[in-house]
Structure 1
Amino acid sequence: MKQTNPFYKSKKWINKRENVLRRDDYECRECKRYGKTTVATMVHHIFPLEHYPEYKLNSDNLISLCSKCHERMHDRITNEISEVGKRWQGRVEGALQGRQ
Protein backbone atom coordinates (compact mmCIF):
# COMPACT_ATOMS: atom_id res chain seq x y z
CA MET A 1 0.00 0.00 0.00
CA LYS A 2 1.30 3.42 -0.99
CA GLN A 3 2.01 5.80 1.86
CA THR A 4 0.74 9.36 1.76
CA ASN A 5 3.47 11.96 1.57
CA PRO A 6 3.55 13.94 4.86
CA PHE A 7 3.50 17.12 2.75
CA TYR A 8 -0.24 16.58 2.18
CA LYS A 9 -0.84 17.02 5.93
CA SER A 10 1.11 20.29 6.13
CA LYS A 11 -0.57 23.60 6.85
CA LYS A 12 1.04 25.10 3.70
CA TRP A 13 -0.56 22.41 1.51
CA ILE A 14 -3.96 22.58 3.22
CA ASN A 15 -4.05 26.36 2.70
CA LYS A 16 -2.78 26.15 -0.89
CA ARG A 17 -5.29 23.42 -1.72
CA GLU A 18 -8.15 25.57 -0.46
CA ASN A 19 -6.87 28.59 -2.42
CA VAL A 20 -6.68 26.57 -5.65
CA LEU A 21 -10.18 25.15 -5.19
CA ARG A 22 -11.47 28.68 -4.57
CA ARG A 23 -9.54 30.03 -7.59
CA ASP A 24 -11.18 27.39 -9.78
CA ASP A 25 -14.66 28.05 -8.30
CA TYR A 26 -14.67 24.49 -6.87
CA GLU A 27 -15.16 23.18 -10.43
CA CYS A 28 -13.22 20.48 -12.24
CA ARG A 29 -10.98 22.16 -14.81
CA GLU A 30 -10.85 19.09 -17.06
CA CYS A 31 -14.66 18.71 -17.17
CA LYS A 32 -14.99 22.45 -17.76
CA ARG A 33 -12.86 22.14 -20.93
CA TYR A 34 -15.69 20.02 -22.35
CA GLY A 35 -18.53 22.27 -21.21
CA LYS A 36 -19.46 20.22 -18.15
CA THR A 37 -19.78 21.57 -14.63
CA THR A 38 -18.57 19.08 -12.04
CA VAL A 39 -17.65 19.73 -8.41
CA ALA A 40 -13.91 19.51 -7.82
CA THR A 41 -12.89 17.53 -4.77
CA MET A 42 -9.15 17.19 -5.45
CA VAL A 43 -6.21 19.43 -6.28
CA HIS A 44 -3.80 17.78 -8.72
CA HIS A 45 -0.06 18.39 -9.19
CA ILE A 46 0.29 18.52 -12.99
CA PHE A 47 4.01 17.84 -12.61
CA PRO A 48 4.01 15.24 -9.80
CA LEU A 49 5.28 16.16 -6.37
CA GLU A 50 7.55 13.09 -6.25
CA HIS A 51 9.49 14.19 -9.35
CA TYR A 52 9.11 17.98 -9.22
CA PRO A 53 9.19 19.05 -5.55
CA GLU A 54 10.18 22.56 -6.65
CA TYR A 55 6.62 23.01 -8.04
CA LYS A 56 4.79 21.62 -5.02
CA LEU A 57 3.16 24.94 -4.06
CA ASN A 58 3.27 26.66 -7.47
CA SER A 59 -0.28 27.64 -8.41
CA ASP A 60 0.47 27.15 -12.12
CA ASN A 61 1.19 23.47 -11.38
CA LEU A 62 -2.08 22.89 -9.51
CA ILE A 63 -5.58 22.32 -10.88
CA SER A 64 -8.89 21.43 -9.30
CA LEU A 65 -10.36 18.14 -10.48
CA CYS A 66 -13.22 15.80 -9.76
CA SER A 67 -12.10 12.36 -8.58
CA LYS A 68 -12.94 10.75 -11.94
CA CYS A 69 -10.72 13.17 -13.88
CA HIS A 70 -8.00 12.92 -11.25
CA GLU A 71 -7.86 9.16 -11.78
CA ARG A 72 -7.45 9.78 -15.53
CA MET A 73 -4.34 11.96 -15.06
CA HIS A 74 -2.05 9.06 -14.20
CA ASP A 75 -1.98 5.31 -14.22
CA ARG A 76 -2.34 4.26 -10.58
CA ILE A 77 -0.57 0.94 -11.17
CA THR A 78 2.54 2.18 -13.00
CA ASN A 79 2.33 5.75 -11.65
CA GLU A 80 3.03 6.98 -15.20
CA ILE A 81 1.43 10.20 -16.41
CA SER A 82 -1.44 9.48 -18.82
CA GLU A 83 -1.89 11.18 -22.20
CA VAL A 84 -4.47 13.48 -20.60
CA GLY A 85 -1.96 14.35 -17.87
CA LYS A 86 0.78 14.98 -20.45
CA ARG A 87 -1.49 17.41 -22.31
CA TRP A 88 -1.92 19.39 -19.07
CA GLN A 89 1.86 19.37 -18.61
CA GLY A 90 2.26 20.84 -22.08
CA ARG A 91 -0.23 23.60 -21.27
CA VAL A 92 1.53 24.78 -18.12
CA GLU A 93 5.18 24.05 -18.90
CA GLY A 94 5.97 27.56 -20.18
CA ALA A 95 4.38 29.27 -17.19
CA LEU A 96 6.36 27.10 -14.77
CA GLN A 97 9.69 27.59 -16.51
CA GLY A 98 9.17 31.34 -16.73
CA ARG A 99 8.80 31.63 -12.96
CA GLN A 100 11.90 29.82 -11.77
Structure 2
Amino acid sequence: MTRWGVWQQQEGSDTQHGYGWQWRKLRARILRRDNYLCQECLKAGRTSAATEVDHIKPKAQSGDDREENLQGICKACHRLKTVVSC
Protein backbone atom coordinates (compact mmCIF):
# COMPACT_ATOMS: atom_id res chain seq x y z
CA MET A 1 0.00 0.00 0.00
CA THR A 2 1.22 3.50 -0.77
CA ARG A 3 2.01 6.05 1.93
CA TRP A 4 -1.08 8.02 0.85
CA GLY A 5 -3.22 4.90 1.28
CA VAL A 6 -1.81 4.31 4.76
CA TRP A 7 -2.47 7.96 5.65
CA GLN A 8 -6.07 7.72 4.44
CA GLN A 9 -6.73 4.57 6.47
CA GLN A 10 -5.58 6.14 9.73
CA GLU A 11 -8.30 7.19 12.12
CA GLY A 12 -9.31 10.82 12.17
CA SER A 13 -11.71 13.31 10.70
CA ASP A 14 -11.98 14.36 7.05
CA THR A 15 -10.33 17.65 8.02
CA GLN A 16 -7.40 15.77 9.55
CA HIS A 17 -7.07 13.88 6.27
CA GLY A 18 -6.81 17.10 4.25
CA TYR A 19 -10.49 17.42 3.28
CA GLY A 20 -11.56 20.50 5.23
CA TRP A 21 -13.66 23.49 4.20
CA GLN A 22 -11.43 24.35 1.22
CA TRP A 23 -11.93 20.85 -0.18
CA ARG A 24 -15.70 21.04 0.41
CA LYS A 25 -15.86 24.33 -1.54
CA LEU A 26 -13.77 22.87 -4.37
CA ARG A 27 -15.87 19.68 -4.36
CA ALA A 28 -19.08 21.69 -4.75
CA ARG A 29 -17.52 23.69 -7.62
CA ILE A 30 -16.47 20.50 -9.46
CA LEU A 31 -19.90 18.89 -9.07
CA ARG A 32 -21.56 22.05 -10.46
CA ARG A 33 -19.04 22.23 -13.32
CA ASP A 34 -19.81 18.62 -14.26
CA ASN A 35 -23.58 19.19 -13.99
CA TYR A 36 -23.75 16.63 -11.16
CA LEU A 37 -23.15 13.85 -13.72
CA CYS A 38 -20.64 11.02 -13.43
CA GLN A 39 -17.95 11.69 -15.99
CA GLU A 40 -16.88 8.03 -16.17
CA CYS A 41 -20.47 6.93 -16.93
CA LEU A 42 -20.79 9.63 -19.60
CA LYS A 43 -17.66 8.27 -21.32
CA ALA A 44 -19.37 4.85 -21.40
CA GLY A 45 -22.63 6.28 -22.79
CA ARG A 46 -24.54 6.07 -19.50
CA THR A 47 -26.04 8.77 -17.31
CA SER A 48 -25.56 8.61 -13.54
CA ALA A 49 -25.61 11.20 -10.79
CA ALA A 50 -22.20 12.23 -9.52
CA THR A 51 -22.13 12.07 -5.73
CA GLU A 52 -18.37 12.19 -5.25
CA VAL A 53 -15.36 14.02 -6.63
CA ASP A 54 -12.48 11.90 -7.90
CA HIS A 55 -8.82 12.64 -8.52
CA ILE A 56 -8.24 11.57 -12.13
CA LYS A 57 -4.56 11.03 -11.33
CA PRO A 58 -4.61 9.79 -7.72
CA LYS A 59 -2.73 11.69 -5.05
CA ALA A 60 -0.85 8.46 -4.33
CA GLN A 61 0.58 8.77 -7.86
CA SER A 62 1.55 12.44 -7.45
CA GLY A 63 -1.85 13.80 -8.50
CA ASP A 64 -3.07 17.06 -7.01
CA ASP A 65 -6.21 19.07 -6.30
CA ARG A 66 -6.12 21.19 -9.46
CA GLU A 67 -9.55 21.42 -11.11
CA GLU A 68 -8.15 19.76 -14.26
CA ASN A 69 -7.36 16.67 -12.16
CA LEU A 70 -10.83 16.41 -10.60
CA GLN A 71 -14.10 14.99 -11.91
CA GLY A 72 -17.60 14.30 -10.68
CA ILE A 73 -18.13 10.57 -10.31
CA CYS A 74 -20.79 8.18 -9.02
CA LYS A 75 -20.18 5.97 -6.00
CA ALA A 76 -20.02 2.76 -8.10
CA CYS A 77 -17.42 4.16 -10.52
CA HIS A 78 -15.40 5.63 -7.66
CA ARG A 79 -15.38 2.30 -5.83
CA LEU A 80 -14.36 0.46 -9.01
CA LYS A 81 -11.62 2.97 -9.79
CA THR A 82 -10.29 2.89 -6.23
CA VAL A 83 -10.12 -0.91 -6.14
CA VAL A 84 -8.41 -1.08 -9.54
CA SER A 85 -5.75 1.51 -8.61
CA CYS A 86 -4.86 -0.03 -5.21
Alpha-carbon displacement from aligned partner over 1:58-80 (angstroms, at most 9, x marks no partner): 011101100000011122xxxx6
Number of equivalenced pairs: 75
The counterpart of 2:18, out of the listed 7, 29, 34, is: 7
Aligned partners of 2:57, 2:78: CA distance in 1, in Å?
Answer: 13
Which blocks of at least 5 consecutive residues in structure 1 are unaligned? 83-100
SS of 1:15's partner is: helix
> How far apart are residue 48 of structure 1 and its match?
1.8
Residue 35 of structure 1 aligns with which residue?
Answer: 45
Aligned partners of 1:52, 1:67: CA distance in 2, in Å?
Answer: 23
SS of 1:63's partner is: strand
Alpha-carbon displacement from aligned partner over 1:8-51 (angstroms, at most 9, x marks no partner): 1x111000000000000000001111221100000001222244
Aligned partners of 2:45, 2:60: CA distance in 1, in Å?
Answer: 31
Select the structure with the greater relative contact order (CA < 8 A; seq sep ≥ 6): 2
Normalising to structure 2: TM-score of the pair? Answer: 0.74
| Structure 1 stretches of at least 4 aligned residues deviating more than 4 Å after TM superposition | none
The counterpart of 1:61, out of the listed 49, 55, 69, is: 69
Normalising to structure 1: TM-score of the pair? Answer: 0.64
